[in-house]
Structure 1
Amino acid sequence: MTEKFAPTEIIVAKRDGHELTDDQIDWVVDAYTRGVVASEQMSALAMAILLNGMNRREIARWTAAMIATGERMDFSSLSRPTADKHSTGGVGDKITLPLAPLVAACGVAVPQLSGRGLGHTGGTLDKLESIPGWRAALSNDEMMTQLEDLGAVICAAGSGLAPADKKLYALRDITGTVEAIPLIASSIMSKKIAEGTGALVLDVKVGSGAFMKTESDARELAETMVALGTDAGVKTVALLTDMSVPLGLTAGNALEVRESVEVLAGGGPADVVELTVALAREMLQAAGVHDVDPAEALADGRAMDAWKAMIRAQDGDPDAALPTARETEVVTAGSDGVLTSLDAYAVGVAAWRLGAGRSRPGESVQAGAGVELHAKPGDTVRAGQPLLTLHTDTPERFGRAHEALEGAWAIGDTAPQPSPIVLDRIGG
């Protein structure tokens, strides 16, 4: 068949700062999915988009084109309303794990289609795969049955859902184009709109450990996604949340599962609990459920019951011991004082280098690798006291992890002003 465009002319148009037409966008997304546009060409276009941006019309059309490459799901037959949550990714961001069963325990179904790790940020599926037996791949029928029976499912998006995104997501991860706002917004929203959820709560991270380093960039991304969702008929709200410091006390797959289970058991770090409950309240409100307090469902064990049922339904053993890394190294404080800062990005890169993340698509990750924190900013520390424990199966990785952590924290005399975890709310 004769193609409508040459890939190069579209690359050059965006390289030179021009708007892409609707026809150009529809064609290039479809042609890339069909294999007519090569990965090298889409890499070049993705970089041009990162450098020159897209306007609202282009982003909306790109999102629609990605949805059009696949199927759409429909949850209208379920006996309860649906709500989903998406985080733009951070360090130690294990919130989906306690959140999905918590919201399910409160009467709202959560169809959580999740992804793999991207760059220095962990992937929900990678975390859950550290649970013995757990499987990420479910058929649409299995997913619907689990949502009706249990109210929550966390699984991989099927190959039929926005297949263009699956290819582009993996490409962005290895070509330095993850941070492009138009590509982040269209990637997230194409999957979420195609998924068919009734309500969507976005957790848009801000700070060193996020893809959006500044509040203005995070706000732009949040507003773009809220507009895309609202225009598609999905009740969409976004929270801007702080990611300058890792969430909780762990970054790494099995380490984060362990911490999530602590939260479901009524304990766990205060910041993880606070954000989990805040997002649960937003999801329940967006789904029209106003008379249930998620904090109570977390405290009385209902969320833990939902978690165990959800893990078992996907062939996992929620009571099995989690994998642990074969080797550890402890990083200690060099002086007495107060920990004044701890850079989330550095901790994320260290966890990635220890084996918790991947450098190319399809690479396996180590379930036990990662970084454990023994202090957070504001804590008093003594010289020689453990600050971090590094975990890996491959000790030759320690050197590069230590390099990532050089200058990653500061110890001073005065505690920093505590910063709120939720910075703002957009939409709704």
Structure 2
Amino acid sequence: MRAVDIIMNKRAGKELSREEIGFLIGGYVAGEIPDYQVSAWAMAVFFQGMSPAETAVLTELMLKSGNTMDLSGISGPFVDKHSTGGVGDKTSLILAPIVAALGIKDPMMSGRALGHTGGTLDKLDAIPGYRTSLDIAEFRRILAKDGFAMTGQTKDIVPADRLLYALRDVTGTVESVPLITASILSKKVAEGADALVFDVKFGSGAFMKDAADGEKLARSLVDTGTAMGKRIIALLTDMNEPLGNMMGNFLEVEESLDCLEGKGAADLMEVTLELAARMVVLGGKAKDAAEGRRLCEDALASGKPRDLFLANIVSQGGDVKKFLDLRGTYRSPVSAEIRAEKSGFLSRIDAWKVGHAGVDLGVGRNRTEDAVSPTAGIQFHRKGGHSIAAGDLIMSVWARDEAGLAAALPQLRDAVEYAETETPARRLILKEIQS
């Protein structure tokens, strides 16, 4: 069997066998098949797609390329949530302690920022002392104690995905539905969750730009995950505008604590509570999403999720006192403001343009090895639907350096869209998809 024949078969639109996919993935992980051949195969998949059977085989083989988390001996249920990537999306930080307060364990293996989308691990790294690289024993201990634990993907957990993910990012094949499906599910099944809730985003700030493509990905995740024996719910959510009032690493951790104290932005809390409600249903604590949401709101009002959030900081090596002392002040000294150029209404702030400006500011990265700034970011004082007068403050902006600020400001000004009349409120959650 030769890699070039597999590439040519997929280029021609043929369905690959388990043996062909296994040969390619196994050879790539072993270092026997070079990047350029796997890149060619990924581009063929991008254009020709994969059948549901191929996608399931690819997911299974990627999962089996390394170790999985052993959660035996810890009482469940184990339910996790995954977002397909957005701007200002810090829902994981908020919902994990909420569902933990209701007796659901959330084993969360997260990623870092790439391109215009934020990364949960980069946000957590902004907390002084917080460790996002946990061995399996630490992960198990913290999960059992706090009800959730946050870690990154190690070289031993789904190594095929770690290699392929980095390759896709630099070869223009990120948006492939079967490759996204296999990447997400292989990691999520490896972390030991019994059930999964997917936040599949569509819009300018998402990888899937329109709702139809987002629904295809959601359906692929649900069908493939169900075939692997997992209980799955996907929500199709709007990412045409940044979520919440903050975008940036420390800024988003800070906003997450605000949310747990009852001071969250309406759009952020709506998406977070609807995702958490489905986790509660899958965890067997509620009969439907409406009851699940009520339970989540009651938990928030009790203050227990906030206590668990701070307890987890301690469990993972963070300095709670220093974190709280930095709250509201941990900002880069390189800063500027974006003010309204005219009176009327804001129709929206374009998430795609904000996300790319964030890379220049230092929030995100273009390459996996790029460093990010904990103190760079944006605070949104007004968003789509607000009435404005010329000169009103729309954004406060902090950058890692002057060059980054200069590059970001024109993009941020261009991201602000004006209207003469009030625009209707966005429908944040378009559809729920189950098997």
TM-score when normalising by structure 2: 0.94
2:318 is matched by which residue type in structure 1? G
* Residue of structure 1 aligned with 2:419, choices 399, 402, 412: 412
What is the Cα deviation at residue 406 of structure 1? 5.2
Matches within 5 A, 1:233-382: 233-290=229-286, 293-320=295-322, 321=326, 323-382=330-389
Q: Give the partner amino acid of 1:121.
A: T
Partner AA of 2:184 in structure 1: I
> Alpha-carbon deviation of 1:34?
0.9
Q: Note if 1:85 corresponds to 2:87.
A: no
Which of 94, 111, 123 is 1:115 aligned to? 111
Q: Distance in 1 between matches of 2:255 and 2:140?
A: 28
Once residues 357 and 42 of structure 1 are traced to their aligned partners in structure 2, the CA distance between those partners, rounded to angstroms, is 26
Percent of paired sites with the same residue: 42
Residues 159-208 of structure 1, C-alpha deviation per residue, up to 9 Å, x if partnerless? 22211101111222222221111111100001111222111100000111
Structure 1 residue ranges without an equivalent (≥5): none
Under a length normalisation based on structure 1, what TM-score does the superposition of the two structures give?
A: 0.96
Where 1:184 maps in the other structure, the secondary structure is helix
Residue 132 of structure 1 is matched in structure 2 by 128
Residue pair 1:281, 1:294 contacting (<8 A) in 2 also: yes
User: What is the DSSP-based 3-state SS (H/G/I as helix, E as strand, rest coil) of the residue aligned with 2:201?
Assistant: strand
Structure 1, residues 87-124: CA drift from partner, whole Å, max 9, x if none? 00101000000111111011100001101112210000
1:132–1:299 distance in 2 versus 1, CA, 3 Å: same
- Partner residue, 2:174: 178
Query: Secondary structure at the residue paired with 1:258?
Result: helix
Contact map agreement 1:350 1:371 (CA 8 A) in 2: no
Question: Counterparts of 1:223-242 in structure 2 under 5 Å?
Answer: 223-242=219-238
Contact 2:243 2:268 in 1 (8 A): yes
Which segments of 5 or more consecutive residues in structure 2 lack a partner in the other structure?
A: none
State the distance in 2 between where 1:352 and 1:268 align: 25
CA shift at 1:359, angstroms? 1.4
CA separation in 2, counterparts of 1:381 and 1:56?
Answer: 49
Letter of the 2:144 counterpart: E
Residues 393-421 of structure 1: CA distance to partner in whole angstroms, max 9, x if unpaired? 21101232134335322212211111221
**Residue in 1 aligned with 2:405?**
398
- Across the aligned residues of Structure 1 and Structure 2, the Cα RMSD in angstroms comes to 1.5
Q: Could you say what secondary structure the match of 2:430 adopts?
A: strand
**What pairs with 1:16-165 in structure 2 (closer than 5 Å)?**
16-165=12-161
Q: Which amino acid aligns with 1:74?
A: D
- Offset, 1:366: 0.8
Give the direction of change, closer, same or farther, for the CA distance of 1:43–1:400 in structure 2 (3 Å limit). farther
The whole-number CA distance in structure 1 between the counterparts of 2:302 and 2:168 is: 42
How many angstroms apart in 2 are the aligned matches of 1:404 and 1:14? 39
Q: Is the 8 A contact 2:108 2:191 kept in 1?
A: no
Q: Does 2:392 correspond to 1:385?
A: yes
- 3-state DSSP class of the match of 2:359? helix
Q: What per-residue deviation string (whole Å, max 9, x for no partner) do you get for residues 272-300 of structure 1?
A: 11111111110011011127701111122
Q: What amino acid does structure 1 have at the position aligned with 2:29?
A: T
CA distance in 2, matches of 1:329, 1:403: 12
